[in-house]
Amino acid sequence: MTGAAAPVVITCGEPAGIGPEIAAKAWAALKGQVPLVWMGDARHLPDHFPHQIIDDPSQAKQVGHSALPVLTQEFAQPAIPGKPDPANAQGVIDVIAKAVRLVGSGDAAAICTAPIHKKALIDGAAFQYPGHTEYLAALAGGARAVMMLASDQLRVVPATIHIALEDVPSTLTPELLRETIEITAKALRSQFNIDQPRIAVAGLNPHAGEGGAMGRQEQIWIMDLVADMQGEGFDLQGPLPADTMFHAAARARYDAAIAMYHDQALIPIKTLDFDRGVNVTLGLPFVRTSPDHGTAFDIAGRGVANATSMIEAIKLAAKLAGMP
């Protein structure tokens, strides 16, 4: 099975969180629209949820719409909602790695990942990566991966991601920012079908430094980098004050925004479209999306989790993978 006929594989994520529940709800909402396979321990799915164990993604079509096709990964322990068990950490990691192998072989069209709990992975399996994005990049042979948060209202990319705020100025280099812009522009053309992408670049400091009065990175190198890339044919604006670049009129002037650090990117999209935001990893040799939220341990197992972001993530994965 290859190409658009292959299913989207949903990885289970942290089984003590809402991942299994929102995957089940997403399948129920989308059955017949997007071929799906869930990978994990079937014990972790909601009680009495209709599912069928399969041995290969190609069998998903045979299951039809009566049950969620499941590629089994046995975990060490059952899942207790809201209480992550480090004993299950290796199972979570193995599921992600297997999904990458499936999409690499063409047996899956794309990957949609449920949220993981990094502390449980560190405690249980000495997980060495800051998050999903970095692990997927390693599995892809060390690809330079970029995290985009996308919805109908905004696409935004943080140049630095899961690091302390105090480390941002030293980590944010001309090379890193240039590569982030290049990967974003390439993905907008190749995956989002935007022939001439317009990209807005935020400043690092308040008011984009205000002429050096509130920080000098903009004056020292960010302005020059933007100007150089404009000269190379990139349609860039910036550096712009981050506090005025996310209102409706400003968003109409660009196709994606580059933010300088995690919260500068995620606060606006979660404010604008919390339920429908999708995490898209750019720069990988395969399509990967994820809902734009965490494990939500506080509501796990109660049956009240909102699956909208997971549904949107699956739909976007299918679209980016060229599925009909």
CATH of the domain at 21: 3.40.718.10
- In this structure, the answer to whether residues 197 and 322 fall within a common structural domain is no
Whether residue 137 has pLDDT greater than 70: yes
- In this structure, the answer to whether residues 174 and 138 fall within a common structural domain is no
Mean pLDDT of 315-323: 94
**Per-residue pLDDT band at 31 (split at 50, 70, 90):** confident
**Per-residue pLDDT band at 133 (split at 50, 70, 90):** confident
Mean pLDDT of 150-173: 95
- In this structure, the answer to whether residues 234 and 313 fall within a common structural domain is no
Q: Which domain holds residue 256?
A: 146-283
Q: Are 137 and 284 in contact (CB under 8 A)?
A: yes
130 residue type, one letter: P
Whether residue 3 has pLDDT greater than 80: no
- The pLDDT score that the predictor gives to residue 162 is 84
- In this structure, the answer to whether residues 272 and 295 fall within a common structural domain is no
Overall number of domains in the chain: 2
- In this structure, the answer to whether residues 78 and 170 fall within a common structural domain is no
- In this structure, the answer to whether residues 114 and 178 fall within a common structural domain is no
- The pLDDT score that the predictor gives to residue 30 is 94
- In this structure, the answer to whether residues 67 and 172 fall within a common structural domain is no
Rounded CA gap, 266 and 280, in Å?
A: 13
Whether residue 5 has pLDDT greater than 80: no
Tens-digit pLDDT profile for residues 199-241: 999 999 999 999 999 999 999 999 999 999 999 999 999 999 9
Rounded CA gap, 44 and 93, in Å?
A: 16
Tens-digit pLDDT profile for residues 72-120: 999 999 999 999 999 999 999 999 999 999 999 999 999 999 999 999 9
- The pLDDT score that the predictor gives to residue 1 is 38
- The pLDDT score that the predictor gives to residue 274 is 87
Whether residue 54 has pLDDT greater than 60: yes
Whether residue 171 has pLDDT greater than 90: yes
- The pLDDT score that the predictor gives to residue 4 is 44
Rounded CA gap, 20 and 2, in Å?
A: 26
Rounded CA gap, 107 and 105, in Å?
A: 6
- In this structure, the answer to whether residues 5 and 120 fall within a common structural domain is yes
pTM for the structure as a whole: 0.90
Torsion angle in degrees (nearest 10) through CA of 323, 190, 184, 321 = 10
Helix or strand holding residue 18 (H, E):
none
Mean pLDDT of 42-57: 95
Percent of the chain at pLDDT exceeding 90: 89
Phi, psi of 137, rounded to the nearest 5 degrees: -65, -40
- In this structure, the answer to whether residues 166 and 31 fall within a common structural domain is no
The residue assigned the tokens 């190198």 is 221
- In this structure, the answer to whether residues 192 and 272 fall within a common structural domain is yes
- In this structure, the answer to whether residues 41 and 89 fall within a common structural domain is yes
Mean pLDDT of 286-302: 95
**Per-residue pLDDT band at 63 (split at 50, 70, 90):** confident
Instruction: Of 7-16, 129-138, 197-206, 296-305, give the lowest mean pLDDT range.
Output: 129-138
- In this structure, the answer to whether residues 29 and 166 fall within a common structural domain is no
